[in-house]
Structure 1
């Protein structure tokens, strides 16, 4: 197996402390030939839903065999499981707290293990507050270097992996009820309703007592006005031209929205 596999890192560690650099040091000690890509380390603290969304939308853009190490872990040191998951196209390593559930709704897990083999950790007794260093970065590097998944711990049923509890979508007489599943750096509000669900339709979004018209991009309205469109990630989103939809509409994570389907498009 090639030692040139990619490892991605995602965390809520920020960049003002050394935590991310230390994880990269652990990886380099195990296999300096590995390529490490930072997805983001600016997930807001303990925001598992944001980590889930970012990882889910980044995953398809990486080559076969990539190992994704994700650490947003408010339960570190508790009884929550540390896991590695094999998919048809890559691997996931991190806490079993729901942050992998977005990917696992789209891609079937081939196998999963609970990480209980200290041979592949930095030390046999890991810190109770930094499993990113002592377990996940180390396991990810070994996995990317060719260590078989089953060597890393105890085989578990992938169906037992934690599903993050988010409001479910519901079909209504006029459209689809959903929620805000992500808020990006610009204050754009990303819903959990995807492009395929509105294909061939004209629609608008009702949220926070506003009816937001459908457009194609940010500039389809005047500066300061609100517009909805299909984002680059294929989810319907709400934005303000030159501003923050979150601030202007006073909406937050998991706030309710409804996509109102008005008519079939012509032609």
Structure 2
């Protein structure tokens, strides 16, 4: 039974998610539909990219991931599909797949097969009329080469990678989870060579050690650690770091190498 996941900013109060699922099942009635999240903040491409990176990798080979966070719907932005990690990805070309594109296997294709999409297409609901039918056809065995021409310049978000110099890494907060943990775009491998002598600066605060677990500090104390996403995060044991420090996404976080 083929798996199709859905990630959107549609929420659950409207008909949008149900309509997309119906469009998939009309083409691929045996598909198993799995919701990753429909609570992405509206039009927040970075949040969707982060969610896809860390949830999709847990699915088995052959999964098709359909993602629609699409503030440019109805414009000239391209619809695309590609393979990475033995999985298929379908959605708008707006940076949504920035964490995934470097692992693309073969060509990235622009979707250009109107005959495979809805006969009448709304300019405001490509999720239902273009992406859902294409995802269904792909999960049902259609080859990527059949959906449209290959492209070489998909859009990538600048925020996903920190800026590195010999003695400093300039990153930023890219995610705040439901516990208020501040997740950066700095990976464990980025800081591993410096781990024994570094300073982590965020807002007007600084830390000098990377802990292994939240309980390595007293309740209410801040800490830095490598979280489950393998990114450096700032946390408060038993508390909310975002509220404690007044920081949110895109706030800078600086790693300094000490002598």
- The question of whether the paired residues in 2 share the 8 Å contact of 1:204 and 1:228 is answered with no
Which sits farther off after the overlay, 65-74 or 173-182?
173-182
Secondary structure of the residue aligned to 1:101 is coil
1:7 maps to 4
2:202 maps to 207
Spell out the pairing of 1:161-240 with structure 2 (5 A cutoff). 161-166=154-159, 168-172=161-165, 174-199=167-192, 201-202=195-196, 203-212=198-207, 213-240=209-236
- In 1, the alpha carbon distance for the partners of 2:85 and 2:242 equals 37
- The question of whether the paired residues in 2 share the 8 Å contact of 1:167 and 1:254 is answered with no
TM-score, length of structure 2 as denominator length: 0.91
Q: 2:140 aligns with which of 145, 167, 170?
A: 145
2:253 maps to 257
Moved over 4 A (4+): none
- In 1, the alpha carbon distance for the partners of 2:88 and 2:111 equals 14
- The question of whether the paired residues in 2 share the 8 Å contact of 1:204 and 1:214 is answered with no
- In 2, the alpha carbon distance for the partners of 1:131 and 1:56 equals 22
1:132 paired with 2:127, answer yes
1:246 paired with 2:239, answer no
**5+ long unaligned stretches in structure 1:** none
After TM superposition, give the deviation of residue 204 of structure 1 in Å: 4.4
Q: 1:61 aligns with which of 54, 58, 62?
A: 58
After TM superposition, give the deviation of residue 66 of structure 1 in Å: 1.2
- In 1, the alpha carbon distance for the partners of 2:257 and 2:33 equals 43
- In 2, the alpha carbon distance for the partners of 1:170 and 1:115 equals 33
- The question of whether the paired residues in 2 share the 8 Å contact of 1:51 and 1:72 is answered with yes
Distance 1:173 1:148, change over 3 A: closer
Q: Residues 242-265 of structure 1: CA distance to partner in whole angstroms, max 9, x if unpaired?
A: 2221222122222111123458xx
- In 1, the alpha carbon distance for the partners of 2:105 and 2:199 equals 35
Spell out the pairing of 1:91-106 with structure 2 (5 A cutoff). 91-105=88-102
Which sits farther off after the overlay, 37-46 or 20-29?
20-29
- In 1, the alpha carbon distance for the partners of 2:65 and 2:95 equals 15
- The question of whether the paired residues in 2 share the 8 Å contact of 1:188 and 1:237 is answered with yes
Tell me the matched-pair count.
256
Distance 1:211 1:68, change over 3 A: same
After TM superposition, give the deviation of residue 183 of structure 1 in Å: 1.6
CA RMSD of aligned residues (A): 1.9
TM-score, length of structure 1 as denominator length: 0.89
- In 1, the alpha carbon distance for the partners of 2:7 and 2:244 equals 29
- In 2, the alpha carbon distance for the partners of 1:108 and 1:85 equals 7
